[in-house]
A and B are shown apart, each in its own frame.
Chain A
Amino acid sequence: MTARDRWIDRHLRRLHLGQFLQRAVEWVAVYLFFFGTTVLVVKLMVPALWPHVLWVASGAVPVTVMAWWWSRTGRFTRVESVALLDHSLGAGGLLMTLTESPHREWEARLPQVERRWRESLPRIRPQRVVGPLALPLVFAVGACFVPLREIVANTTVKSTAGQQATGQLNDLLEMLEEANVLEEQEQQTLREAIEKLAEETERSPLTHEKWETVDAMEQRMRMQLEDASVDMAQAAGAAAILAKAAAGDGMKLSAERLAELEQDVLETLQKMSKNGSLSAGSSALSSDLQRLIKNGKLRLPPDGEAREQLFSELQDFLDQESEKLSELRKQCKGSCSKCGSKSCDGECEGGQCASCGKECEGELCSSCSGSRPGRGGVTRGRGDAEMTWGDESDETGVQFKETVLPPGLQDDPKDEVLGITRSAPEVDPATGVSRAAARSIDPTAGREAWSRKLRPRHRGVVRKFFDTAANE
């Protein structure tokens, strides 16, 4: 092979390289667009396939091989390469002629300086390659950095979070059923609602609407428990007062007060009878109590001694029931994340948690502060205001139905609980607030301002204000 042939081969190889690069750039550019689109689709629609989709990038190798194979189909021939080299050298066709018909004397007329041959070789211009690749490359790389879409529908979440929540509701309901707190119809309604919720969470993810439903049901059951506990404590207190009054222990009650107390006891016993918790006591007592509340009235024995004994037994029974419910309330509160105790209510005194006794960071321990409203943790509303979750409509898209809420100044039921003690409060029963009246405010009755209930600490001031000469 002569030097001329070697230069021609180099020229031809350069041309083939250029052809391959051009073809490869075109194909790889298309492939990069395809890759970027695939990554985007995976990230936005099938996030589970990330980062396995990156394996698609390995397809660039077969694409390059195909580009090389494809570039071979339209390759420059040797004749064309010689023609181009001849033109570059300015040989006027002599190079073409000598490759076809060699001649020693004419060979000497070709350029002999190697530099001229080298300069005549085609130059590969990388910027022409980089230019068309820049945009697809940026697109492909950019697609890799697009954040993954959050997985909303996930089987794992569906099978754990949803079922866990409904499981907790079931546990709570069972506890309430065991304590005979709920009426039978209420139990049935709650059970059906929980079953429906559990069924839905199996098929679909636990959305925020369903979380709200779970919270509302839990709250409702807790409220039922709270109410039952309060009623029980009230009834126990009333029974204690009645027992003392029957014993004639220096306590004299007005007929109206007696009637109120008896009514409290009667209502509680009726509820217990309805729930079936009345049969939990001793059989003799329960039969006595059944007789006692017959026909919706409290039938008390005429004998004072028998009455005292009855109230005494009733008080013991109601105290037991009240304690049971108190225990149940504590259990329903959930366990402290720090101490693990169900009795911990997150109260901190000084540097210690009141119940768990562990070190606190400031006034409240960090683990317990979340359970108190208005302390910066996960709460159910602003400040001390508890959010009340009502029954949610299962109809989607229905128009909002207005509900008239009770007036906002109604006394907190907790205040009522605080006022009940084993001993009689030191207030005049005549001027005391009727608890029964306080509980039964009818917003539609009107004239609330005339019958507005006052807190005990405000009563003196109000009385003094109206106790004027003009009134007299």
Chain B
Amino acid sequence: MSDGDFERNETVAATMATTREESALGDATAVESDAVAAAGGLLSPEEVERAQALIGRLVDGLGTAILGQQELLELVTICLLARGHMLLEGLPGLGKTELVKSLSALLGLEFRRVQFTPDLLPGDIVGSPILQETDGSRQLVFHKGPIFANLLLADEINRATPKTQSALLEAMQERRVTVMGETHELPRPFFVLATQNPIELEGTYPLPEAQLDRFTFKINVYGVSSDTLQEIISTRRHGRAPDLSEVLSREELEHLFELVEGVHLPEAVANYIARLVNATHPDSADAPGECSQFVRYGASPRAAIALAGTARAAALVAGKPNAGFDEVRRVAVSVLGHRLVLDYSARLEGWTAVRMVERLLEAVPEVGRPLPQDVAVR
């Protein structure tokens, strides 16, 4: 590893640490979770078990609405627990919108849905000031848009113009919106769950890299097996999903957020994340040959932070007090897949971003130092 790479890793690791501090300053929940971590150091087995039970209720609830997509449901849960935004990509009719609607029903959070169209304006999302007569005088009163909800479903997000898409930038990162110089905080928690259709290229506006980078996960939704399809046909009349009731209260969700913050990220795992993200850069010494050849731009430090956060959430879902290498590998494709900008030659060679991340996971060792030749480990 070169000095430059080492410094870059150090920077990424430092950013991951300071982000936690920043969130602690601006987020009461983070403060509490830090207190939990500081008091006990590690989550107790009882806490983890209780969290697993809560998460289990949520996943089971989603499972009743979305059949045969257990991995997808767990990834959605992980992203939710990491307080990340999610982009679902898949063909129409695979249940993307249904998934988001089910999630809102199960969590009991305020849910809004915006169908993105080319003529949609930013004001249609964030809200706009309206001249209103009050007590005999007229004044501009800000009318909140649909973004002021806990759960925003941005359906077919790539059909809106870049101008409208950019209205989400501040909201997704800062969790607030500014209209006419006036900043409005968004309710907590705030999630954007967007869907996009890959085959409708006509009249679509691909999301810019800055927008994509704000999505913690991008999950590809695939079709289900024939057995699952048969079950769907049998149980769903007219495609109507079963009525779902709230399984997780807001407080319980907040508590889960605290517990995720308390999940320990060992130093070696943080180093692995840093090296993994660093290896996505084509000029890095750690980058495998294919990455150097086909990747134009690698992942940002925000990706490293997202990787660490989702790995923590994945650990809690798995019932562990700490994130390990397995959790990092589990979420790496969803976190890094949409953040790599590939060269045009990659398409010619049949390389996709997901395949590139899988290659990176093969190439980057868990420990950054090669074992001596005369030593064998299990």
**Footprint of B on A, CB under 8 Å?**
14-15, 18-19, 21-22, 25, 74, 76, 79-80, 82-84, 86-88, 92-94, 96-97, 100-103, 105-106, 109, 119-120, 122-126, 128-129
Interface SS of chain A: helix
Report the minimum CB–CB distance from A261 to chain B (whole Å): 103
Instruction: Render B47-70 as a binary contact track against A, CB cut-off 8 A, 1 for contact.
Output: 000000000000000000000000
Listed stretches B163-171, B243-251, B302-310, B319-327; interface member: B319-327
- How far is it, in angstroms, between the C-alpha of A109 and the C-alpha of B320 when the chains are bound? 11
Indicate whether A93 sits within 8 Å of B367 (C-beta atoms), given known contacts A87-B377, A125-B374, A128-B373: no
Listed stretches B93-101, B112-120, B174-182, B266-274; interface member: B266-274
Q: CB-CB < 8 A to B371: which residues of A?
A: 15, 18, 84, 122
B325-A87 in contact (CB<8A)? yes
Pick the most buried of A25, A103, A124: most chain B CB atoms within 10 A of its CB. Answer: A103
Report the minimum CB–CB distance from A68 to chain B (whole Å): 13
Q: CB-CB < 8 A to B223: which residues of A?
A: none
- How far is it, in angstroms, between the C-alpha of A387 and the C-alpha of B271 when the chains are bound? 92
- How far is it, in angstroms, between the C-alpha of A88 and the C-alpha of B367 when the chains are bound? 13
Chain A: CB-nearest residue to B318: A92
A93-B375 in contact (CB<8A)? no
Q: Does B187 sit within 8 A of A, measured CB to CB?
A: no
- How far is it, in angstroms, between the C-alpha of A97 and the C-alpha of B44 when the chains are bound? 13
A83-B366 in contact (CB<8A)? yes
Instruction: Render B129-173 as a binary contact track against A, CB cut-off 8 A, 1 for contact.
Output: 000000000000000000000000000000000000000000000
- How far is it, in angstroms, between the C-alpha of A120 and the C-alpha of B320 when the chains are bound? 22
Contact of B320 among A22, A84, A88, A94 (CB under 8 A): A94
Chain B: CB-nearest residue to A16: B372
Q: Does B45 sit within 8 A of A, measured CB to CB?
A: yes
B376-A96 in contact (CB<8A)? no
Q: A18-B371, A86-B268 are in contact. List 12 more A-B contacts (CB 8 A).
A: A22-B374, A79-B268, A82-B268, A83-B325, A84-B377, A93-B320, A94-B322, A97-B264, A106-B321, A124-B374, A125-B376, A126-B374
Q: CB-CB < 8 A to A102: which residues of B?
A: 41
Report the minimum CB–CB distance from B319 to chain A (whole Å): 10
Q: CB-CB < 8 A to B41: which residues of A?
A: 101-103
Q: CB-CB < 8 A to A19: which residues of B?
A: 372, 375
A-B contact pairs, 18 of them (CB 8 A): A14-B375, A15-B371, A15-B375, A22-B375, A76-B369, A84-B371, A88-B377, A92-B324, A93-B269, A93-B327, A94-B322, A94-B324, A96-B266, A100-B266, A100-B267, A120-B377, A122-B376, A124-B375
Q: Does B42 sit within 8 A of A, measured CB to CB?
A: yes
B321-A88 in contact (CB<8A)? no
- How far is it, in angstroms, between the C-alpha of A80 and the C-alpha of B267 when the chains are bound? 9
Report the minimum CB–CB distance from B307 to chain A (whole Å): 15
A97-B372 in contact (CB<8A)? no
Q: Does B368 sit within 8 A of A, measured CB to CB?
A: yes
- How far is it, in angstroms, between the C-alpha of A126 and the C-alpha of B40 when the chains are bound? 46
Q: Does B378 sit within 8 A of A, measured CB to CB?
A: yes
Q: CB-CB < 8 A to A74: which residues of B?
A: 369
B323-A93 in contact (CB<8A)? yes
- How far is it, in angstroms, between the C-alpha of A129 and the C-alpha of B267 when the chains are bound? 32
B374-A128 in contact (CB<8A)? yes
Contact of A88 among B322, B372, B373, B378 (CB under 8 A): B378
Instruction: Render B280-323 as a binary contact track against A, CB cut-off 8 A, 1 for contact.
Output: 00000000000000000000000000000000000100001111
Contact of B45 among A101, A105, A129 (CB under 8 A): A105
Indicate whether A96 sits within 8 Å of B322 (C-beta atoms), given known contacts A80-B368, A82-B268, A103-B41: yes
Chain B: CB-nearest residue to A97: B322
Report the minimum CB–CB distance from B120 to chain A (whole Å): 45
Report the minimum CB–CB distance from B6 to chain A (whole Å): 13
Q: CB-CB < 8 A to A97: which residues of B?
A: 42, 264, 266, 321-322
Q: CB-CB < 8 A to B268: which residues of A?
A: 79-80, 82-83, 86, 96
Q: CB-CB < 8 A to B320: which residues of A?
A: 92-94
Indicate whether A122 sits within 8 Å of B325 (C-beta atoms), given known contacts A15-B372, A80-B368, A106-B42: no
Report the minimum CB–CB distance from A70 to chain B (whole Å): 13
- How far is it, in angstroms, between the C-alpha of A18 and the C-alpha of B376 when the chains are bound? 9
Total chain B interface residues with beta-carbon distance under 8 A? 32
Q: CB-CB < 8 A to B266: which residues of A?
A: 83, 93, 96-97, 100
B377-A122 in contact (CB<8A)? yes
A103-B375 in contact (CB<8A)? no
Indicate whether A18 sits within 8 Å of B372 (C-beta atoms), given known contacts A79-B267, A80-B367, A103-B321: yes
- How far is it, in angstroms, between the C-alpha of A80 and the C-alpha of B371 when the chains are bound? 11
Chain B: CB-nearest residue to A89: B378
- How far is it, in angstroms, between the C-alpha of A212 and the C-alpha of B269 when the chains are bound? 86
A120-B378 in contact (CB<8A)? yes
- How far is it, in angstroms, between the C-alpha of A76 and the C-alpha of B267 when the chains are bound? 14
* Interface positions of B from 11 to 48, Cβ below 8 Å from A: 40-42, 44-45
* A-B complex: 10 closest residue pairs judged by Cβ atoms: A93-B324, A18-B375, A96-B266, A83-B268, A97-B322, A18-B372, A128-B374, A22-B372, A103-B42, A101-B41
Q: CB-CB < 8 A to B378: which residues of A?
A: 88, 119-120
A18-B374 in contact (CB<8A)? yes
Report the minimum CB–CB distance from A96 to chain B (whole Å): 4
Instruction: Render B320-336 as a binary contact track against A, CB cut-off 8 A, 1 for contact.
Output: 11111111000000000
* Interface positions of B from 326 to 378, Cβ below 8 Å from A: 326-327, 366-369, 371-378
- How far is it, in angstroms, between the C-alpha of A129 and the C-alpha of B374 when the chains are bound? 6
Q: CB-CB < 8 A to B369: which residues of A?
A: 74, 76, 80
Q: CB-CB < 8 A to A105: which residues of B?
A: 44-45
Contact of B373 among A22, A84, A123 (CB under 8 A): A22
Chain A: CB-nearest residue to B320: A92
- How far is it, in angstroms, between the C-alpha of A38 and the C-alpha of B238 when the chains are bound? 90
- How far is it, in angstroms, between the C-alpha of A126 and the C-alpha of B377 when the chains are bound? 14
B377-A93 in contact (CB<8A)? no
Pick the most buried of B327, B376, B378: most chain A CB atoms within 10 A of its CB. Answer: B378
Report the minimum CB–CB distance from B2 to chain A (whole Å): 14
Chain A: CB-nearest residue to B322: A97
Q: CB-CB < 8 A to B366: which residues of A?
A: 83-84, 87
Chain A: CB-nearest residue to B48: A106
- How far is it, in angstroms, between the C-alpha of A101 and the C-alpha of B321 when the chains are bound? 11
Q: CB-CB < 8 A to B323: which residues of A?
A: 93
Chain B: CB-nearest residue to A14: B375
Indicate whether A92 sits within 8 Å of B321 (C-beta atoms), given known contacts A25-B374, A101-B41: no
Report the minimum CB–CB distance from B237 to chain A (whole Å): 43
- How far is it, in angstroms, between the C-alpha of A74 and the C-alpha of B367 when the chains are bound? 13
- How far is it, in angstroms, between the C-alpha of A290 and the C-alpha of B152 when the chains are bound? 152
- How far is it, in angstroms, between the C-alpha of A47 and the C-alpha of B44 when the chains are bound? 77
Chain B: CB-nearest residue to A21: B374
- How far is it, in angstroms, between the C-alpha of A83 and the C-alpha of B369 when the chains are bound? 11
A123-B375 in contact (CB<8A)? yes
Contact of B322 among A83, A87, A93 (CB under 8 A): A93
- How far is it, in angstroms, between the C-alpha of A105 and the C-alpha of B268 when the chains are bound? 22
- How far is it, in angstroms, between the C-alpha of A83 and the C-alpha of B366 when the chains are bound? 8
Chain B: CB-nearest residue to A100: B266
B367-A101 in contact (CB<8A)? no
- How far is it, in angstroms, between the C-alpha of A102 and the C-alpha of B264 when the chains are bound? 11
Q: CB-CB < 8 A to B321: which residues of A?
A: 94, 97, 103, 106
Q: CB-CB < 8 A to B325: which residues of A?
A: 83, 87, 93
B375-A83 in contact (CB<8A)? no
